[in-house]
Structure 1
C-alpha cells in the first residue's frame, strides 16, 4: 500500500514547534520579538538604525539581529546606534527559521532586552511563510517599489500586524500613488494599520517605536485576516476562535493609519485611528483584533547557520 506524505507540511510543523518554544521563552523573560520583512533596498536597515538610536537615547533596552546571505555590512551600520547587534549569515538560505534564530540568541541576547528587532532576509516570498517566534510582524514597502506591491505579494502583506511605507520624503519625486497603495493593502489585509516613515527626515520613527512599545506593554494588535485563513487550513486554530468563531473585522474597507503620540519618558498614548487613502489621521483611542499568540506567519524548518557579531 502506497502512502503519500506531504514533506512540506512535516517541515513546517517542525518549525511551528520551534517557533512556539521560542515565543514562550521570550515571553517568559519579558522580551518582544519583532519580525521585519521587506524587499531588498526598501530602506529597512536605515529605518531600523533610526529606530534603535531613538530607543537607546530614551533608555529602552533593545537589541537587533540582522540576516543576510553574505557580508556583515548591515550589522556594522546598526551597531552605530549603540544597541547590541548580531549578524546572522544564512549561507544562501533566503529566510530565517525559528530554530536557527534561537541558536543565535542563546547566550547572546542581554537579559533585560525589552524589544528584539529581527531584520529578516530581504525577500517578500520565503520569509513570509516562516514563523520565527515573533509576536509582532511588520512589512515595509518603499515608495520606489510601486503601489501594487501588496497585490503582488499578498502573503507578505496579508500576514502582518502593521504596514510601514518608507522613503516618503521622495514620494512626490517618484510619483508614488499613496491612495492606490492604501487601497491595495486593504484588499489583502483589511483593517491593518499603515504608517508612513522616512529614515532621512525621521518622520514616523517615534510613532513606529510607540506602536512596538505599546504592543510590548500588552496593547492588542490587528489580527490579519489572511493569518486566520492560514490557521483554518493549516491547523493554526486559536482558543478564542474555537470558542467564539472567527473574529470579524468591524471596519470593513476603511483605511488605517497610526496616531500614537510618543513621550518615551512618560508613557504612550495607545490609541490608533482611521485614516483616509492619503494617510491623513483621524485619531481615536481603540484597538482591534486580538493579539496573535501563535504569531502571524506560517512556520517551517530549522537549521543552524553561520554567524558573525557586529564589532
Structure 2
C-alpha cells in the first residue's frame, strides 16, 4: 500500500494541511532554502487518500481510547522514537538504573522481531511488555495505537506512574502514528550526521524533546554540532534538547529530570 505522510502528527498543527506518500515532507516554512526535489512520482489518487485517511482516523480513535485508559490510571506516557542504533534501549537501561526507587515505570518495547531489547530491560525494576510487529514477511516499521492497546492488559497500569513506549527504530513512520502518548521524545545519535532534521523533518518536528546521544564520540567525528542545531531549529524551534552519553553518564540526570517533569 505504501506509506502515507500527514503533517499534523501528534496533534500538532504546522500549517501544512496536505498529505502525500513516501518521499520527503514538503517542509513549508523551514527557511533553509534546500531543493525539495520532485515529488510528482508520489501523487496519491483520491481513492487511496480516502482509504488511508480512514486508517489514520481509526488509529486516532484507538489512540484516544489508550490515552483515556492511561489518564484513568494516573499514568503519564512518553513515546520514545529514533533511528535504529541511536541508543534508545541503552538510554532506557541507564534511566531505569538512575530512577530506581523513584517513579514506577512500565515499558512497551516495540521491535519487528526478537525479544533482544526487552530482555536487556528485564530485571531493572520496570514492568516490560513486548510487541513484535513482524509477521514472517517483514514487519511494520512503527507501533500504532492498536498494537499499543494490545499490550495494555499485560501492564499493571494502576500500579505505575510512567509508561515509556520504545517505538520501532525508524526516522519516518513512528512519527506519523499517535499511540495515546502525552509527550514525544526522540533519540538522535551524533553519528547520524548534521542533516537529518532536514531530511526527516516529520520526526524532528513531532518531538517535544530531542536527546542528542553519544556525545562522547564528538572528538572522533567530523560532526558540527552547531550545524545540527541550526537544522533542528529550522524545522522545530521549540523542541527541548538534552545532550547525553550513556557511556560516560553525561546528561542522564537532565534526561531523567525531563521524564519526571512530564509526569501529569
TM range (shorter): 0.7 to 0.9
Note if 1:208 corresponds to 2:255: yes
CA distance in 2, matches of 1:93, 1:7: 18
1:68 alignment counterpart: 111
**2:171 is the counterpart of 1:124:** yes
Correspondence 1:102-141 to 2 at 5 A: 102-141=149-188
User: Cα deviations across residues 156-194 of structure 1 (Å, max 9, x unaligned)?
Assistant: 000111111010111111132110111111000112111
1:128-277 alignment to 2 at 5 Å? 128-217=175-264
For the residue of structure 2 that corresponds to 1:172, the secondary structure is helix
Q: In structure 2, what is the equivalent of residue 78 of structure 1?
A: 121
Structure 2 CA distance for partners of 1:143 and 1:106, relative to 1, 3 Å: same
Q: Counterparts of 2:191 and 2:230 in 1: how far apart (Å)?
A: 17
In the alignment, the residues of structure 2 paired with residue 189 and residue 59 of structure 1 have an alpha-carbon distance, to the nearest angstrom, of 31
Total equivalences in the alignment: 215
Give per-residue Cα distances to partners, 1:69-108, cap 9 Å, x unaligned. Answer: 1111001111142311122111111111111111111243
Report the 3-state secondary structure (helix = DSSP H, G, I; strand = E; otherwise coil) of the residue aligned with 1:104: helix
Matched, 1:90 2:90: no
The aligned residue for residue 293 of structure 1 is none
Q: Secondary structure at 1:30's aligned position in 2?
A: coil
TM-score by length of 2: 0.78
How far off its partner does 1:4 sit?
A: 8.3
1:6 to 1:112, Cα distance in 2 relative to 1, 3 A: same
Unaligned runs of 5+ residues in structure 1 are: 218-311
- Contact 2:106-2:155 within 8 A present in 1 as well: no
Question: Counterparts of 2:108 and 2:70 in 1: how far apart (Å)?
Answer: 15
Give TM-score, length-normalised by structure 1.
0.66
1:37 and 2:81 aligned:
yes
SS in 1 for 2:192: coil
- Structure 2: runs of 5+ lacking an equivalent: 1-45
Equivalent residue, structure 1, for 2:6: none
Are the equivalent residues in 1 in contact too, given 2:75–2:157 (CA < 8 A)? no
* Segments of 4+ moved more than 6 angstroms: 2-5
Contact kept, 8 Å, 2:189 with 2:212, in 1: the verdict is: yes
SS at match of 1:137: strand
| Match for residue 7 of structure 1 among 43, 51, 74 | 51
* SS class of match (2:126): coil
Please report the RMSD computed on the Cα atoms of aligned residues, expressed in angstroms.
Answer: 1.6
Whole-angstrom CA distance in 2 between matches of 1:172 and 1:31: 40
Indicate how the Cα distance of structure 1 residues 205 and 3 shifts in structure 2: closer, same or farther if over 3 A, else same.
Answer: closer
What's 2:102 paired with?
Answer: 59
CA distance in 2, matches of 1:119, 1:63: 11
Q: Which has the higher helix share?
A: 2
* CA 6–205 in structure 1, closer or farther in 2 if over 3 Å, else same: same
Contact 2:79–2:184 under 8 Å retained in 1: yes
